[in-house]
Structure 1
């Protein structure tokens, strides 16, 4: 006799319950699909009512009466219009459906990789900001990093673009060495290869770290739109410049934030000192200054390095001389000292007599001295006067006599080659090239405003005018037009800015001989 199977209820007592749950779930899904429009309209009406309630609460008391009168007038007009109530209900339903629609959820905040980087930064800062004696430390091992970072921005590669973090009040943020340790750590952990600006808020105990974009290197030799007596040293960040100037680059014209150095009688920093290793762009900056100075003044160039980078200026209108040997440099500086004294006497006499200053004392005179330390060593070897001693008169009285001195040398020359008069007189400073933080501090007198970049192109550095802040700087590309390795477009741009050559006595006599 065959065995009969057991009933389903005896084999699985929960089968009926599971089947009932499935039916209920299916019925609920079908009900949601059927009533979805009503649910959307109801959600929209709730949002519209909440918006109206917020507007009503934000309306001043003296304006609520007129607002109610306008609303009652609108309702009355709708009531008397043909099909007015029907259209009003349809419009309200459409507005509620639009307000109650399901909006896609946009993911905000840092992703998993960015959160991991923030956690790494937090743990790296614990030994510097943490204190075992703090009862409620901001920084502790296995602590909460979300309490520290107030604002975070990341790029597409989950690298921080901007960070704003808190630090305890007992951290010595006034010590440059303590700041430097934190900045080096953040530079290493946030991502090498970029420049970072560190803004310390000592009052609020906040540190803002901003990743800076590289400064453009495509600005070449051109006529810059500046005021009389202003010299454009280069391009900087928009946050460090008070205005912009139109420039021409590889991609066409645009406005760029400049670093402007004001010279003349109203300047607080009438003389400039440029320091950088060979190849960092010091000669390029001096050539750029020379082209701008020749628009209004006269120029005397002393090339102590003897590189021939200023040969393009020789024999041009406004260029008094281009000397590269010791004898010529001494003669030129001696003449410059006497010329400064003559101009100063002429200015004082005109002011005493109430007359205008003579034109020959008003025309700007520029002294460009490249590598004065080399000239000083040559003078000591030949037992001759140091050329830097002859610079004391132009440096001391140059502003009143409208004489401007621009010097360029290596960073090692500070305190070991440049005289005290030169270092004290040239208060406008420029540091170019991949200099160490200590060298930047020795040149500018303050720490570098940004971290050190991985690759420093020629002409990149920092500038500080007097007691002002240090800013980033990119010098315009003004190459030697006689260098055949330079692109033709760059060479032609420099040649177009050079003044015409002076007619020598030989050039004047040759046509006369030919005609005779």
Structure 2
């Protein structure tokens, strides 16, 4: 057990100190030197000269005294031995407060892990908690951060409702406001509860080390994925575990749905995806909120358009549907003729739709078609045509999503505070952790197809034109923006449409 190993290590270090006093003295000298450097650094520059003169005078006086250097050396070694001693208190078990906490947890679990027919119950009122609990650890406030629980074999651990009741109880008794991971070992009849550390929020938008067709949605726990990539976290370079979403003709999750609360970071995730997509393809943005969150992308190379109104959104999405059909027809004709597909049909095209429910409401008021209806062709045939659709919506507007959007977006992201039921409704599976009521922007869960549910922290990608954006994050986003388009005449989308007519003609 971890506690046993810690006790053994502490005892070994104490024995080493007894057998080797030189180690204690050396450690004390190192600590005294560090304290001296800190004191010298904290001394104002105008006082360093007099302090240095006083120290030199004391050294001269000590050197002139009888046995002065020997006494000074003895004093220094004594001080080093005192400061170098180990102050670790060897604990052989939980203290009184921690024991009471474990007893309370044990008593609370008795109704869940016992039945009257059991002749030798593991959980019983007033029983021994040491038989059921092991591998426990506590934080500085005395709250458990790790606990392994052995439960009877007849407990229905295969039922989600039964496990959820136990998890809610443990979360309430161990301390709310933290995120717990519950690992059920159904074969061994054991439950491991761990408190997960908060995911770092200091990773900003940057050039990630990815291959074409790979998009970084955010970062997760170290043991959740088998891949790491180098990232800049402030001024430091380190490896972080990413959540990588793969698109393209061979992807099983070619389209993405993002659902979150207001201010949860869905728009930041869309901006992050757009900046990564512009490195190898073109993007079309339809902003249903109309707040100008994507103004920094207007007129940039590779940005086909940034539409905010219903009329512009319908025109743009209608063009995207025709462009998808054109790509399919051109690629099919090339295959029939034994030629490779034209290069303009293989350049990735991204359709980013933010808040489609607002646009649908405005379109219905004007007697127009819902813009989501125009997404059916890109959603159904986009994978073969190198067309990717990303839809972001809030929880209160999720009911307005069409069946085509729900069916073809197999990659899902939930951002912001959400209950287990809300997360399960979007992801198709409840997360293994307990969501907390307060999370930073960009914090949530991701699930790619039928894969596991992963914790997610979106890289900070704020609007660089927002006055509330920090200078570091503003500069990070501006460095990733492509140059302004210098093409004159019709917009980029219309020029591509012209090439479409020439190709099909």
Which of 125, 130, 134 in structure 2 is aligned with 1:150? 134
Runs of 5+ consecutive residues of structure 2 not aligned to the other structure: 1-87, 490-505
Which residue of 2 is the match for residue 463 of structure 1? 446
Instruction: Assess, with a 3 A threshold, how the Cα gap between structure 1 residues 251 and 119 changes in structure 2: closer, same or farther.
Output: farther
Which residue of 2 is the match for residue 492 of structure 1? 475
Give the conservation status (yes or no) of the 8 Å contact 1:235–1:258.
Answer: yes
Give the conservation status (yes or no) of the 8 Å contact 2:324–2:378.
Answer: yes
Which residue of 2 is the match for residue 83 of structure 1? none
Which of 409, 412, 424 in structure 2 is aligned with 1:426? 409
Per-residue deviation at 1:449?
2.1
2 CA distance for matches of 1:111 and 1:471? 35
| 1:83-482 matches, cutoff 5 A | 106-414=90-398, 416-482=399-465
2 CA distance for matches of 1:105 and 1:440? 44
Per-residue deviation at 1:347?
1.8
CA deviation map 1:380-432 (0-9, x unaligned): 22221111111010001011000000000012333x20011100010100000
CA deviation map 1:111-170 (0-9, x unaligned): 322222111111111111121121111111001111111322223333222211111222
Which residue of 2 is the match for residue 53 of structure 1? none
262-271 or 348-357, which deviates more: 348-357
2 CA distance for matches of 1:186 and 1:269? 36
Instruction: Assess, with a 3 A threshold, how the Cα gap between structure 1 residues 118 and 431 changes in structure 2: closer, same or farther.
Output: same
Q: TM-score normalized by structure 2?
A: 0.78
CA deviation map 1:239-274 (0-9, x unaligned): 111111111112511111110000111111000000
Per-residue deviation at 1:349?
2.2
Query: Per the alignment, in what secondary structure is the counterpart of residue 240 of structure 1?
Result: coil
Query: Per the alignment, in what secondary structure is the counterpart of residue 400 of structure 2?
Result: coil
Give the conservation status (yes or no) of the 8 Å contact 1:126–1:140.
Answer: yes
Give the conservation status (yes or no) of the 8 Å contact 1:375–1:387.
Answer: yes
Query: Per the alignment, in what secondary structure is the counterpart of residue 331 of structure 2?
Result: helix
2 CA distance for matches of 1:113 and 1:168? 27
2 CA distance for matches of 1:357 and 1:131? 68
Query: Per the alignment, in what secondary structure is the counterpart of residue 222 of structure 1?
Result: coil
Give the conservation status (yes or no) of the 8 Å contact 1:478–1:494.
Answer: yes
Query: Per the alignment, in what secondary structure is the counterpart of residue 308 of structure 1?
Result: coil
2 CA distance for matches of 1:351 and 1:205? 57
Query: Per the alignment, in what secondary structure is the counterpart of residue 127 of structure 1?
Result: coil
Q: TM-score normalized by structure 1?
A: 0.76
CA deviation map 1:8-57 (0-9, x unaligned): xxxxxxxxxxxxxxxxxxxxxxxxxxxxxxxxxxxxxxxxxxxxxxxxxx
Per-residue deviation at 1:303?
0.1
| Backbone CA RMSD of aligned residues | 1.8
Per-residue deviation at 1:504?
4.8
1 CA distance for matches of 2:212 and 2:99? 53
1 CA distance for matches of 2:111 and 2:252? 44
Query: Per the alignment, in what secondary structure is the counterpart of residue 110 of structure 1?
Result: coil
Which residue of 2 is the match for residue 513 of structure 1? none
Per-residue deviation at 1:497?
0.5
Give the conservation status (yes or no) of the 8 Å contact 1:192–1:454.
Answer: no
Which residue of 2 is the match for residue 72 of structure 1? none
Which residue of 1 is the match for residue 69 of structure 2? none
1 CA distance for matches of 2:269 and 2:240? 18
CA deviation map 1:446-498 (0-9, x unaligned): 11221122420000000000111101000011000101121111111111100
**Larger CA Rg, structure 1 vs 2:** 1
1 CA distance for matches of 2:160 and 2:148? 20
Give the conservation status (yes or no) of the 8 Å contact 2:179–2:433.
Answer: yes
Give the conservation status (yes or no) of the 8 Å contact 2:418–2:437.
Answer: no
474-483 or 175-184, which deviates more: 175-184
Per-residue deviation at 1:375?
1.2
Which residue of 2 is the match for residue 58 of structure 1? none
Query: Per the alignment, in what secondary structure is the counterpart of residue 431 of structure 2?
Result: coil
Instruction: Assess, with a 3 A threshold, how the Cα gap between structure 1 residues 166 and 251 changes in structure 2: closer, same or farther.
Output: farther
1 CA distance for matches of 2:153 and 2:223? 28
Query: Per the alignment, in what secondary structure is the counterpart of residue 320 of structure 2?
Result: helix
Give the conservation status (yes or no) of the 8 Å contact 1:198–1:449.
Answer: yes
Count how many residue pairs are aligned between Structure 1 and Structure 2. 404
CA deviation map 1:297-324 (0-9, x unaligned): 0000000111110011010000000000
Runs of 5+ consecutive residues of structure 1 not aligned to the other structure: 1-103, 507-516
1 CA distance for matches of 2:188 and 2:388? 43
